[in-house]
Amino acid sequence: MKDFVGIDVAKAHVDVHVSSSSQATRWLNNRSDIRKCVKRLVVLQPALIVLESTGGYERDLAVALDAASLPVVVVNPRQVRDFGRAKGRLAKTDRIDARLLAEYAAAMSPERRGIPDRRRRTMQALVARRRQLVKMRTAEFNRCEHAHDKAIANSLRVVIKTLDGELGKIERQLADLIAECPELQDKMQRLLSVPGIGQTTAAMLITEVPELGELNRRQIAALIGVAPINRDSGSFRGKRMTGGGRQAVRTRLFMPTVVACHHNPVLMRFYQRLLQNGKNKMTALVAAMRKLLTILNTIMARGENWNPKLT
């Protein structure tokens, strides 16, 4: 039987636990040790390697493992924590976490998703940086209202102008990356054909939701976390709630959904019908977001531009 491998990643080092071993092996989290670690695992040829998402510290190792054609999955830390609690594991060290990840790999066999290639990783970084710049600009703009001192007001204007310049650079870099790849260009045009979807949202969807068009409508709704979840027990019928999934994508789809509910005829009718049926505005907006996501998934699957008759 092949081994399962769990790798706990920290800033300075990684702990690798092989299911057939009693102890984890520690490597430095640098290029030299990562190469040595990957060579060892290539010889082992495990059934599955599982890492937790750790804010980017796992990226170089995951990319190296994928480049070596090893079966690697980067999972949500919350899922592994819940798995550990279910097993009664309360103690926490890097080596214990590596062992738990190996057990999680063997028991749950998480579905493999392709590691992003260099272009997509660059696009993800640019989209994330744009989001940070927009947040900083909004904060500085809001401070202008209370800037009664002339020197402070001038400082705020200078910073806002600088942030505008950086935003422009980021957007041009994103546009250039997409223009260099016909496949991405095609995806971008299809997404932009949907009323309510702009350049920034389309770029975010391309980089953060590569599964668009490859899943059915229920799967894509669950992936993003806009599918209603039952909360029933015995005779009790709880309120259906949404959650989980890719929260960052869900958050960034909110404003495009609001725009679509006012300018996209399909979403507009759908949203107004829900309000007329007594749904509150937030419930109706979440339902509209799910429908918008379904529309996007459909046009990507069919390789067609948006057509209200097809939705």
Residue 109 · residue 83 · CB < 8 Å: no
Cβ neighbours of 263 (radius 10 Å): 11
Q: How many residues does the chain have?
A: 311
Helix (H, G, I), strand (E, B) or coil at 181: coil
User: Which amino acid is it at 234?
Assistant: G
Token couple for 134: 């927009």
What whole-number distance in Å separates Cα of residue 243 and Cα of residue 233? Answer: 19
Which H/E stretch holds residue 264? Answer: none
Helices 199-208, 118-144: inter-axial angle, 10-degree rounding: 140
% of the chain with per-residue pLDDT over 70: 94
What is the model's pLDDT at position 233?
54
% of the chain with per-residue pLDDT over 90: 68
What is the model's pLDDT at position 90?
81
Which H/E stretch holds residue 133? Answer: helix 118-144
Give the pLDDT confidence of 233-279 residue by residue, as tens digits.
Answer: 555 455 555 656 788 889 899 999 999 999 999 999 999 999 999 99
Token couple for 254: 């909110």
Question: Which residues make beta-bridge pairs with 25?
Answer: 16
Give the pLDDT confidence of 170-205 residue by residue, as tens digits.
Answer: 999 998 999 899 999 999 999 999 999 998 899 899
What whole-number distance in Å separates Cα of residue 200 and Cα of residue 207? Answer: 11
What are the CB-based long-range contacts (under 8 Å, 24+) for 252-255? Answer: 252/131, 252/201, 252/204, 253/201, 253/224, 253/289, 253/292, 253/293, 254/285, 254/289
Confidence of residue 232 (pLDDT cuts 50, 70, 90): low
Instruction: Tell me which residue has tokens 């690798």.
Output: 16
Confidence of residue 207 (pLDDT cuts 50, 70, 90): confident
* Fold topology of 4-108: Nucleotidyltransferase; domain 5 (3.30.420)
What is the model's pLDDT at position 210?
87
> Has this prediction a pTM greater than 0.85?
no
Residue 300 · residue 187 · CB < 8 Å: yes
What is the model's pLDDT at position 265?
92
Give the pLDDT confidence of 8-40 residue by residue, as tens digits.
Answer: 999 999 999 999 988 889 999 999 999 999 999
Token couple for 281: 């505005």
Helix (H, G, I), strand (E, B) or coil at 307: coil
**Best CA proximity match to 137, nearest among 154, 160, 156, 158:** 160
What is the model's pLDDT at position 242?
60
Helix (H, G, I), strand (E, B) or coil at 218: helix
Name the phi and psi angles at 229, rounded to 5: -110, 125
Confidence of residue 1 (pLDDT cuts 50, 70, 90): confident
